[in-house]
Amino acid sequence: MTETVTKPEPPESALSAPYWQGLRDGRLLLQACGACGTLRHYPRLLCSACFSDAVSWRQASGHGHVHSWTVAHHAFHVGFRDELPYTLVTVDLAEGPRALGRWRGATPRIGLAVKAILRQADAAAVELWFEPDGEA
């Protein structure tokens, strides 16, 4: 018997809708505080530097360096079960904020230069992945 399991849809809200739309448009967007300019990621209501809720959106270059990584052997959702084991990386983006994504490539190294890949996971979702940037 064949079982079809889909991944969860992105938890899109009024707050995060521009971020998810950005991914669908092929752009990784960061929030920029409208009061002090501090960049942040993932999308959230208040600036952690000045607590302003004024926000605009800025496109990230997609370049960064590996901060840390881990290999998932247990899926947090059954929709990812068939992809196990998979590697997750936290990346210090060139613009400053840190982002979490899936990993494509040989075992990552801390400090390795990486670039973002936006990968269409299914009809509804685009996933953020990273891979080595240039010579690695």
Q: Is 54 in the site for Zn ion (CB under 5 A)?
A: no
Interface with Zn ion, residue 46, by CB under 5 A: no
Using CB under 5 A, pick the residue from 6, 13, 52, 68 that binds Zn ion: 52
Selected range binding Zn ion among 15-23, 52-60, 78-86, 104-112, rule: CB under 5 A: 52-60
- Answer for which of 36, 71, 84, 136 binds Zn ion (CB under 5 A) is 36
Between CA 63 and CA 93 the distance in angstroms is 6
- Measured CA to CA, the distance from residue 77 to residue 8 in angstroms comes to 8
39 part of the interface to Zn ion, by CB under 5 A: no
Q: Does 50 bind Zn ion (CB under 5 A)?
A: yes
Q: Which residue in 27, 35, 32 sits closest to 43, CA to CA? A: 32
- In the region spanning residues 10 to 29, those forming contacts with Zn ion, defined by CB under 5 A, are none
Residues 111, 104, 102, 118: is their CA dihedral positive or negative? positive
The DSSP element (H or E) to which 20 belongs, if any, is helix 17-24
The Cα–Cα gap between 127 and 104 comes to 12
**Structure token pair of residue 131:** 């891979």
- Per CB under 5 A, 38 contacts Zn ion: yes
Site for Zn ion (CB under 5 A): which residue of 29, 32, 33, 116?
33
Which residues lie near Zn ion (CB under 5 A)? 33, 35-36, 38, 47, 49-50, 52
